[in-house]
């Protein structure tokens, strides 16, 4: 909405190319190492997604990098296959021998890099840069040049070196914010300065040290940058690179730029890369995170169910995601009703109130109620006796390795309080024995079958207890209860079955 008011102040290109460096910079994520086969599989998916350039690796660094680039090239992908190289003949020859059609060459230009890493003068660095670009072009290969740490390089020198490589025939110059020190305003200013002098396309490579890689990439595009370096899931050195999925979706939906990216494949590719690298995405990761389209708060759920756009800037289907209504302490009645409608479970007001209150109680205890949990809770309440002749007023259980499990129950039977205590082989057995003693005068009802199942995994999983009770007259009834306390679930299930038998009588 408001972006339309400032678009005329931007220098937006007609389209933006995506230079994916997941296989190179992404692999430099600490602890990540990809096999040749894994690189091939990721490259295939990147090409299907529609990226323009795939940086396959750093050929001179290992034979595996050369092999990976070679195997990727054999697939005949639509994307350019790029190799990284320093402005050294050995590096450049390794990339050329790998038969890539695109070489990204780089050298540090900032005072820090010149003095402490390279120990070279400005003139030497400029000369090596020009020679490298000319060497690449002499071999008929696309050349992209990066002035490493350009955002901490003196502007006059940065312009001088970029002008020199442009004169040498470079196809694209890249501006790396190598240690992520820029903010969007300064990044925009720098790209505008360079754009005013250079004729070749400008690319940017932003790191996320201050969490600004995506913002800086977008600010660069606003200033006229034609290409963005990015990685799937924002992988990369230290805090990573600009996240491809975030950059792409912002450019398409907020800036209305036409891009050749099949966005519905983003979640699948994100999950695929996450499995291969072992780097899990936080649930609140934008676009592809598990919670990116999850809603819990009652107000939000109500809005989303009425019209998704109220709380979703894009549809989940646009990126291959799905919407989730999460049940917990903030859940409203509308969310639960919508879920129950999905399951075809129809509850009356009293039954629904019981489900609603149980979900809220579980949420207050810190539990996220899953779909399976809700269904089990609703079905157990739906199947309960309509009338409670026997009501639970309270119970306690004592157990441990030094005492015999003992339970005491207090019941209201036809309005009269009854208390009983019994032992058992465990707390559940003791509680059921105590109930049977308390109701013995009303009817001789015994447990005939007992089953328990954990609905979901974890120590806080809901327990679903199913029982069959019977009396000497041949009356039988089932009882069911679902709650996080096994003993309580057992007590409720037994009382449910007892009430059904007493109603039958």
Tens-digit pLDDT profile for residues 417-449: 999 999 999 999 999 999 999 998 887 888 999
Alpha helices in 224-265 (DSSP H): 244-253
Q: CA–CA separation, 149 vs 161, rounded Å?
A: 13
Sheet-wide strand order for 406-413: 390-398, 406-413, 416-423
Retrieve residue 179's tokens.
């240690």
Tell me the C-alpha to C-alpha distance, in Å, between residue 409 and each of 396, 444, 499. 7, 17, 16
pTM score of the predicted model: 0.79
State which H helix or E strand residue 430 sits in: helix 427-438
For residues 481 and 487, give the distance between their C-alpha atoms in angstroms, rounded to a whole number.
Answer: 11
Q: What is the CA radius of gyration of the chain?
A: 33
pLDDT, tens only, 106-116: 999 999 999 99
Phi-psi domain of 79 (left: phi exceeds 0; alpha: psi -120 through 50; beta: other)? beta
The answer to whether 238 touches 207, Cβ cutoff 8 Å, is: yes
d(CA 145, CA 11): 22
* Closest to 257 measured CA to CA, from 247, 266, 271: 247
Residue 251 clears pLDDT 90, i.e. is over it: yes
Q: Is 487 helix (H, G, I), strand (E, B) or coil?
A: helix
At residue 205, what are phi and psi to the nearest 5 degrees? Answer: -135, 95
Bridge-based pairing state of the strands 172-177 and 142-148 = parallel
* Torsion sign across C-alpha atoms 289, 293, 294, 300: positive
For residue 272, give the H/E element and its range.
helix 266-277
The pLDDT confidence band at residue 300, using thresholds 50, 70 and 90, is: low
CA distance 426 to 406: 8
CA 210 to chain CA centroid, nearest Å: 20
Report, as an integer, the average pLDDT of 446-459.
84
Q: Of 78, 131, 86, 80, nearest to 104 (Cα)?
A: 86
At 216-246, the pLDDT tens digits run: 999 999 999 999 999 999 999 999 999 999 9
Q: What was the pLDDT predicted at 338?
A: 79
Residue 3 burial (10 A CB sphere; 0-12, 13-18, 19+): exposed
Please give the CATH number for the structural domain made up of 390-504.
Answer: 3.30.160.270
Percent of the chain clearing pLDDT 70 (strictly above): 94
SS3 at position 322: coil
User: Rounded to a whole number, what is the distance in angstroms from the first to the last CA of the chain?
Assistant: 68
The number of residues making up the chain comes to 505
User: Domain locations in the chain?
Assistant: 3-277, 294-382, 390-504
pLDDT for 101 = 97
Q: Order of strands, edge to edge, in the sheet holding 445-454?
A: 445-454, 463-471, 476-483
More confident residue, 154 or 402: 154
Mean pLDDT of all residues in 95-117: 97
User: In the predicted model, is pLDDT for residue 136 greater than 80?
Assistant: yes
Quote the pLDDT of residue 364. Answer: 73
**Helix or strand (DSSP H, E) at 175:** strand 172-177
What angle in degrees, to the nearest 10, is found between the helix axes of 184-195 and 213-222?
40
Query: What's the CA gap between 364 and 343, in Å, rounded?
Result: 25
Helix 427-438, helix 486-504: angle, nearest 10? 30
Strands 53-57 and 80-85: parallel
CATH architecture of 3-277: Alpha-Beta Barrel (3.20)
Mean pLDDT, rounded, of the chain: 91
**Degrees, nearest 5: CA angle 432-425-408:** 45
Average pLDDT over residues 106-127: 97
């Amino acid at each position: 909405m408001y972006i339309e008011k400032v678009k005329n102040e931007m220098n937006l290109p007609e389209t933006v190319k995506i230079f994916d460096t997941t296989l190179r910079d992404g692999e430099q994520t600490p602890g990540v190492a990809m096999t040749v086969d894994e690189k091939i599989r990721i490259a295939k998916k990147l090409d299907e997604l529609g990226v323009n350039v795939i940086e396959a690796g750093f050929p001179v660094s290992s034979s595996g990098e050369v092999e990976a680039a070679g195997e990727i090239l054999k697939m005949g992908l639509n994307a350019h296959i790029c190799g990284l190289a320093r402005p050294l003949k050995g590096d450049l020859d390794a990339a050329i021998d790998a038969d890539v059609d695109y070489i990204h060459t780089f050298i540090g230009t900032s005072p820090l890099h010149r003095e402490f890493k390279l120990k070279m003068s400005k003139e030497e660095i400029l000369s090596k840069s020009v020679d490298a670009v000319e060497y690449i072009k002499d071999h008929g290969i696309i050349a992209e040049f990066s002035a490493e740490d350009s955002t901490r390089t003196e502007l006059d020198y940065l312009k001088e070196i970029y002008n020199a490589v442009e004169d040498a025939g470079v196809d694209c110059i890249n501006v790396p914010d190598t240690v992520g020190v820029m903010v969007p305003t300064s990044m925009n200013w720098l790209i505008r300065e360079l754009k005013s002098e250079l004729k070749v396309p400008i690319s940017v490579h932003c790191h996320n040290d201050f969490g600004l890689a995506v913002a800086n990439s977008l600010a660069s595009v606003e200033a006229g940058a034609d290409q963005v370096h990015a990685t799937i899931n924002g992988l990369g050195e230290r805090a990573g690179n600009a996240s491809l999925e975030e950059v792409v979706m912002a450019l398409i939906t907020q800036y209305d730029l036409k891009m050749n990216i099949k966005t519905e494949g983003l979640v699948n590719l994100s999950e695929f890369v996450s499995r291969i690298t072992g780097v899990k995405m936080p649930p609140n990761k934008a676009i592809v995170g598990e919670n990116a389209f999850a809603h819990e708060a009652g107000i939000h759920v109500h809005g989303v169910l009425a019209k998704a756009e109220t709380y979703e800037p894009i549809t989940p289907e646009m990126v291959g995601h799905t919407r989730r209504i999460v049940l917990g302490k903030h859940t409203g009645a509308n969310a639960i009703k919508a879920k129950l409608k999905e399951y075809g479970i129809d509850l009356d007001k009293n039954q629904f109130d019981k489900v609603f209150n149980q979900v809220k109680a579980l949420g207050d205890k810190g539990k996220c109620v899953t779909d399976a949990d809700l269904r089990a809770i609703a079905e157990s309440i739906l199947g309960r006796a309509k009338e409670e002749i026997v009501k639970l007023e309270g119970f306690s259980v004592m157990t441990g390795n030094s005492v015999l499990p003992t339970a005491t129950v207090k019941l209201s039977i036809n309005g009269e309080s009854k208390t009983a205590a019994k032992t058992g082989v465990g707390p559940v057995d003791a509680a059921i024995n105590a109930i049977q003693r308390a109701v013995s005068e009303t009817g001789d009802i015994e447990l005939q079958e007992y089953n328990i199942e954990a609905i979901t995994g974890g120590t806080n999983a809901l327990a679903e207890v199913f029982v069959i009770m019977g009396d000497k007259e041949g009356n039988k009834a089932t009882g069911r209860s679902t709650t996080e306390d096994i003993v309580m679930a057992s007590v409720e299930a037994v009382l449910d079955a007892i009430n059904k038998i007493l109603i039958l009588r």
